[in-house]
Amino acid sequence: MRSSMKTPVSVLRLPRGPDPNSRGFDPNSPRFIALCPTTVPSSSSSGSADEGEQRLRAELRERFLRTLLLMTGKRVRFDMHEHVRVHARFGASDIDVLNLQVSDLETPLGVQREALLRCQDVIACSFEA
């Protein structure tokens, strides 16, 4: 039978591709819910040490997020791998803190009007509050 005569197999839809805004691993998927214990213990049976640690973690996280808010619009110095140090105006971070949106990024090749910095490349950022 000539292959051009054959009907192609029908498909319900195409495979879903990656979400550009996140690294995936949906915490609401049945597998995640079944296999991952909740991060915050609901009872104090595990001891106040865990509760204390959770409180500290929450405080640190809140402090980090507030720092990001404070950085908005400011001129920030980014220390990156391979001894790279650049200055730019900080715009925003994405939800997973994978990329930082900056403006007027000063590079050895000139000033980049708009740019995205990969967080995994950034070691530290500093700015005047």
Partner 1 sequence: MILKMSSLVSMAMRQTPLTCSGHTRPVVDLAFSGITPYGYFLISACKDGKPMLRQGDTGDWIGTFLGHKGAVWGATLNKEATKAATAAADFTAKVWDAVTGDEVLTLAHKHIVKSVNFTEDSNCLLTGGNDKVLRIYDLGKPEAEPQEIAGHTSAIKKALWCNNDQQILSAAEDKTIRLWDKNTKEAVKTLSFDASVSSMEYIPDGEILVITYGRTIAFYSAHSLDLIKAVDAPASIHSASLHPEKDFFVAGGDDFKLYKYDYTTKEEMESYKGHFGPIHCVRFSPDGELYASGSEDGTLRLWQTAVGKTYGLWKCVLPEELSSENSEALYCPPAEIKA
CA atoms lying within 13 Å on the CB side of residue 52: 3
In terms of Cα–Cα distance, which of 96, 119, 122 is closest to 18?
96
> How far is the C-alpha of 33 from the C-alpha of 43, rounded, in Å?
19
User: 104 to each of 9, 79, 110, 123, how far by Cα in Å?
Assistant: 52, 16, 9, 20
Contacts with partner 1, 38-77, as mask; x by CB under 8 A: ----------------------------------------
User: What is the distance between the alpha carbons of residues 125 and 93, in angstroms, rounded to a whole number?
Assistant: 13
**Closer CB to partner 1, 39 or 45, in the complex:** 39
Contact characters 10-29, partner 1, x per CB under 8 A: xxxxxxxxxx---xxxxx-x
What does the per-residue mask of binding to partner 1 show for 94-113, with x meaning CB under 8 A? ----x---------------
Q: Is 129 near partner 1 (CB under 8 A)? A: no
Q: Kindly list the residues in this chain that would bind partner 1 in the complex (CB under 8 A).
A: 1, 3, 6-19, 23-27, 29-32, 34-36, 98, 120
